[in-house]
Structure 1
């Protein structure tokens, strides 16, 4: 092995590597209830319903995420992706940000409060570190059992809002978010994923370029 190459780069020079499959549909197979999503920690959450917040399962039912990783690894995946497709402050705000837009329309002022919210940023950071840690543990365990290296990819998905087009058909110039807000949301997520120990980052279906 070359000391100048990451083990994944070495493997890519030898053969095609296998990536895992979807995470969301695998979680949905467990048919989790609102109570499952809330867990003990968010039992008394006074905000919106949390059912469907797939990243929240990292904190309330982490054993499910690790079990899914293990299934993909057992099936032969060389790389598993973290359960962080929507784990940015902006991506999580529909579930975990308590405020509503002041004028009934989500605008740049609203999303500035989202990306700066201390509690939401702390949750986002915790989720991403947990996601990377859980995946890392599963990958390292599989590598030890099989003698073959396994790798963790930090999943970075699109946001529920875009800076490319207006969400208001009657106001083509309107933009709900700024480039700087998008950059901050992704920077915070990537920093937490790297802290958690991912080997690489996978940017998925993002339409703002």
Structure 2
């Protein structure tokens, strides 16, 4: 079967060219930036969903960060702008939990299509403005597809190991709705991220393939997994190498690791991916491990220094930050990457 054409070659070509030229910088944590605002219930609802209003929601919304795309769009736009000004080449949409399964916790499943479309549109506006200001440095929108709050491989009930809280088919339906919104909103690429269960990721990749076939074209796809602890495995039990071989069929533009661990603890696993993967390699770790209060203590300078060592070893094509990172972290990381060449991609697994 012939490869589907790009949906928008005018946006895709600059991305591919940029990856050939330098190490690209992803943005940092959205949740960390939102938490700094210390929003209460009214803050999460905004005017649109204010209690007693025409679109009032029955359940408590505090903590539903994705809803802020609709209730506080200026806040989300400002987060994107801050990361772009700090040096990010790519910003991620505020859609980590924008699937029906995850939004069910807040009773907002009916908003999923709009959440994804508007989140991509906000990121698109921010990137277009930044590109216009610096024409020689195009910026790109990463449509984020999170893992959902359910796992297809592991039972949530220790007394019933055969039970599953979701199914492959339900996940595909969830992801299909999210993907359609992210594409319609103007994403440049789509990233299945924070993968703790590879079966969930496979459902997302299947949904992507279906949507691309329906539209007669495809966007670049990326996959980023999560090594859950120092055992070196995902929650569903895979090593970094096994993870790559499980998703390689999707021909991702880049594959990487994010969340759970800090950069220092991810080094060995990124090294493995770099040697086996015939795709670009990304890494956006946490700002260290959480402290006793759930905060993150790794400074921008510490994190940038560690990630520079990754780049000097030829391991990286894209780099950014996850939990606990801020525009200051991204500014330091971008500075640390300056002048360092991107990793050379092996042509075949045998060559790796």
User: TM range, normalised to the smaller chain?
Assistant: 0.7 to 0.9
* 1:75 paired residue among 80, 83, 86: 86
Alignment correspondent of 1:94: 105
Q: Could you say if the C-alpha distance between residues 81 and 4 of structure 1 is closer, same or farther in structure 2, counting changes exceeding 3 Å?
A: closer
Is 1:162 the counterpart of 2:151? The answer is: yes
- Root mean square deviation, CA, Å: 1.7
Residue number among 9, 31, 42 corresponding to 1:35 in the alignment: 42
1:191 aligns with 2:180: yes
Unaligned runs of 5+ in 2: 1-8, 199-352
- The answer to whether the 8 A contact 2:12-2:188 is kept is no
Kindly report which structure 2 residues correspond to 1:102-181, keeping only aligned pairs within 5 A, or say none: 120-121=109-110, 123-147=111-135, 148-181=137-170
Using the TM superposition, give the Cα deviation of residue 163 of structure 1 relative to its aligned residue in structure 2, in angstroms: 1.2
Does 1:65 pair with 2:53? no
Once residues 80 and 10 of structure 2 are traced to their aligned partners in structure 1, the CA distance between those partners, rounded to angstroms, is 29
Greater length-normalized contact order (CA 8 Å, ≥ 6 residues apart): 1
Confirm or deny: 8 A CA contact 2:11 2:188 kept in the other structure.
no
| 1:11 matched residue in structure 2 | 18
- Tell me the CA shift for residue 40 of structure 1: 2.1
Moved more, 32-41 or 177-186: 32-41
After superposition, the Cα gap between the structure-2 partners of 1:62 and 1:3, relative to the gap in structure 1 and judged at 3 Å, is: closer
Q: How big is the shift at 1:58? A: 0.5
Alpha-carbon distance, 1:170 to partner: 1.0
| Secondary structure of residue in 2 paired with 1:155 | strand
Change (3 A) 1:23 1:169: same
- How far apart in 2 are the matches of 1:195 and 1:126? 10
Contact 1:82 1:155 in 2 (8 A): yes
TM-score (norm 2): 0.51
CA distance in 2: counterparts of 1:139 and 1:3, whole angstroms: 15
Separation in structure 1 between the aligned mates of residue 10 and residue 82 of structure 2, nearest angstrom: 31
Q: How many residues align?
A: 185
What is the rounded CA distance, in whole Å, between the counterparts of 2:104 and 2:27 in structure 1? 27
Structure with the largest fraction of strand: 2
Equivalent residues of 1:159, 1:206 under 8 A apart: no
Q: Quote the Cα distance in structure 2 between the aligned partners of 1:4 and 1:143.
A: 12
Q: Is the alpha carbon distance of 1:37 and 1:17 closer, same or farther for their aligned partners in structure 2, counting shifts above 3 Å?
A: same
Query: Following TM superposition, by how much is the alpha carbon of 1:4 offset from its aligned partner in structure 2, in angstroms?
Result: 11
CA contact (8 A) 1:165 1:175 kept: yes
Please report the TM-score for the alignment, with normalisation by the length of structure 1: 0.84
Deviation at 1:41, TM superposition (A): 2.0
Gaps of 5+ in 1: 98-119
Q: Per-residue deviation at 1:156?
A: 1.1
What do residues 147-200 of structure 1 show as CA deviations (whole Å, max 9, x unaligned)?
121000011111111111111111111111111001110111011100100000
